Amino acid sequence: MSSQAVARGPARMRTRTRAQAGRRRTLRNQVLLWVGVVATILFCLFPFYWIINTSLKTGAELSQGSLFPHHPTLDNYSSIFQNSDFTTALRTSLIDAGAATLIALSIGSFAAYALARLRFPRKFLILAIVLSISTFPPIAIAAPLFKLWTDIGLYNTYLGLILPFLTFVLPLTIYILTSFFREIPKELEEAALVDGATHFQAFRKVVLPLAAPGLVTAGLLAFIFAWNEFLLSITLTSDPSRRPVSAAIAFFTGSSQFQIPIGTISAATVTITVPLIVLVVIFQKRIVAGLTAGALKG
Amino acid sequence: MATTAEATFVKPRKRRRSGLSERRLAAAMVSPSLIVILIVAAYPIIYAIWLSLHQYSVIHPGLSRWVGLDNYKDAVTSSSFWSAVKTTFVFTIISVSLELVIGMGMALLMHAAFFGRSVLRAVVLVPWAILTVGTAIMWRSIVAPDVGFFNQVLKALHLPGANTVWLAHNGYALAVMIFADVWKTAPFMALLLLAGLQVIPSDLYDAAKVDGATAWQRFVRITLPLLKPAILIALIFRTLDALRIFDLPYVLTRGSNGTTTLSLYAYQQLTDNRLIGPGSALSVLTFIIVMAVSLLYIRLAGDNLRTMAAES
């Protein structure tokens, strides 16, 4: 405090020159700032632009690599939607990722509430188990699940992917929801408890409705992570009718065997990405809150 | 955390009401998740260890014999294993460091750019939202020979390397993989760090400015120390992800030209070569390595958090 007061004295005497230098400096900083902003936007968006650009080209234009499509066409898009493998894979992904998300939200919200609010022994151990599961490398469970699933008939099924998706989707959901539940003021529940509600009623009627934004965030992130999954998807399915879209586009081979599939692959990539980008941009605040949940509370 | 949880638990507070007791309700609410985790994570890991101690016949499915630690011995004495370890760690260290530096730059920018902030925040989420497989396909087409954007630029600027097939060279292939990963995840890092920046009280900076601290001094003396928890969390997330990397090398190169990571190597042994025993041993080794690194981080972070708590 005292050093501030000392510094203020001489500063006032040199106000004019300082102000001029300062103005020049702020101008320079402003320019640098905007250069940085533009550079960041280009860095983030250009690669995606490039694949959109590729997806709008066909035939000879594909091999020219120009920055703009001179004859933009949606042929690649119509061809992937005529490809039943691709549309089936889209449906499979919606089913797998959607079901994993719903299951994780329903059982995860119970666990998260208990972890956030109830007093019970070995709470820390359970939290530690949940968190350590999320660090599992999927390869470690891929081989045993492959063997297990072929033995009990879950290979090439929806359930055969939904269950392993839960290994990473469920810890994520529990983690996010626990931090959301902690932020809901305790007084509201306590009021309900005083009025004679049970803990479970307090959870269902008071906490859950208030945690709706948290459920949306956790659900979105869970869905995105499951939609993204690749290793388990290619290990536990081989049938195109049960392969999710991430696995399908990696093995995409165009609509005819003579066509170079880069155009259609690009179109498929754009198609499965755009819905996610739209969702992410609409819910950006919630997603950032979910991604950073707990990260700052140590 | 453990102590506080226990402390609140011991607190004797009798509640008389209908319904389940708090303890039993907690058990009932936690158990579905724990059961699922046991079935889909714990059991497979134990089964993987079991598989890794056996040798399986390729010709007669189902035929197996106990070989003890032989698969592990074979793994740690093979050069392919160590080259996969090296690739994985080189990839992890370089990409996570670059992500931290670039992510920090982006975070500071977003923090400073008052008008651009919301636009930037939406924009940096775009790479994050793209499927990793999609990212790999995208970068594969950008660095493609002849038609790829990168070689076009080199050609236009008359720079050397315009005819290089980047993914066909050792070193370059790994560099492309690292760049693709940095592109996809630096924004994620930036968002975590931005959240950390936003809780640093601005009067600290004002006071430092009045004291005549330069921007660099303010960054090193105020921002970095206060951002340490956010940095550590971001590093843990990213390091563990990078150590497990599979989709990028699989789609970019199928692991050729020095891009075979541990996960990919184990996968190839398991599926392409149908070596269930040795492949499981590799999976278990990958698991142990990832666990060891995460424990190391937790120790580091734990010490840090304790000293910070002691200082405050």
How much is the ipTM here? 0.81
pLDDT at B309: 43
- A276 within domain boundaries: no
pLDDT at A8: 46
- B49 within domain boundaries: no
- Subunit contact B112:A33, Cβ cutoff 8 A: yes
* B42-55: average pLDDT: 88
* B175-184: average pLDDT: 92
- B27 within domain boundaries: no
Residues A167, B43: Cα–Cα separation, whole Å: 12
- B54 within domain boundaries: no
Neighbours of A103 (CB within 10 A): 20
- A77 within domain boundaries: no
- B257 within domain boundaries: yes
CB-nearest to B126 from A45, A119, A148 is A45
pLDDT higher than threshold 90 for residue B181: yes
- B84 within domain boundaries: yes
pLDDT at B20: 66
B159 CB within 8 Å of a chain A CB: no
pLDDT at B9: 46
pLDDT at A295: 47
- A52 within domain boundaries: no
Q: What is the DSSP letter of B26?
A: H
- A265 within domain boundaries: no
pTM, rounded to two decimals: 0.84
pLDDT at B246: 92
Residues A230, A247: Cα–Cα separation, whole Å: 6
Residues B174, B267: Cα–Cα separation, whole Å: 19
- Subunit contact A8:B210, Cβ cutoff 8 A: yes
Domain count of the fold of chain B: 1
- B23 within domain boundaries: no
- A192 within domain boundaries: yes
- A13 within domain boundaries: no
Q: Which residues of chain A have pLDDT under 70?
A: 1-22, 65, 253-260, 293-298
**Residue A116, CA distances (Å) to A184, A192, B147 in order:** 10, 17, 54
What is the domain-level CATH number for residue A203?
A: 1.10.3720.10
Residues A123, B185: Cα–Cα separation, whole Å: 32
Which tens digit of pLDDT belongs to each residue from B108-159? 888 887 677 778 888 888 898 888 888 888 888 888 777 778 887 888 888 8
Range of the structural domain that residue B203 is part of: 70-311
pLDDT at A253: 60
CB-nearest to B199 from A103, A201, A296 is A296
Range of the structural domain that residue A178 is part of: 84-253
pLDDT at A22: 67
pLDDT at B304: 60
Report chain B's mean pLDDT, rounded to a whole number.
82
Residues B296, B304: Cα–Cα separation, whole Å: 12
- B59 within domain boundaries: no
CB-nearest to B17 from A138, A196, A262 is A196
pLDDT at A241: 85
The interaxial angle of helices B2-10 and A123-133, nearest 10 deg, is 150
With a CB cutoff of 8 Å and minimum separation 6, the contacts of B144 are A262, B151
Q: Which residues of A touch B124 (CB under 8 A)?
A: 40, 44
| Placement of tokens 């003579």 in the chain | A258
pLDDT at A4: 43
- A134 within domain boundaries: yes
What is the domain-level CATH number for residue B303?
A: 1.10.3720.10
User: Residue A12 burial (CB < 10 Å; 0-12/13-18/19+)?
Assistant: exposed
Q: Which residues of A touch B126 (CB under 8 A)?
A: 44-45, 48, 277, 280-281
- B17 within domain boundaries: no
Q: Which residues of B touch A265 (CB under 8 A)?
A: 137
Q: Which of A139, A162, A264 to mutate to test the interface with B (most CBs of B within 10 A)?
A: A139
pLDDT at B177: 92
Query: In this predicted model, which residue has the larger pLDDT, B19 or B243?
Result: B243
Q: How confident is the model at residue B265 (pLDDT cuts 50, 70, 90)?
A: very high
Query: In this predicted model, which residue has the larger pLDDT, A15 or B237?
Result: B237
Residues B92, B97: Cα–Cα separation, whole Å: 8
Residues 211-270 in B contacting A (C-alpha not used; CB under 8 Å): 211-212, 229-230, 233-234, 240, 243-244, 246-247, 250-251, 262-263, 266-267, 270
CB-nearest to A50 from B127, B138, B262 is B138
Question: φ and ψ at B54, to 5 degrees?
Answer: -125, 160
Q: Which of B124, B118, B122 is nearest to B103 (CA)?
A: B124
User: Residue B14 burial (CB < 10 Å; 0-12/13-18/19+)?
Assistant: exposed
Domain count of the fold of chain A: 1
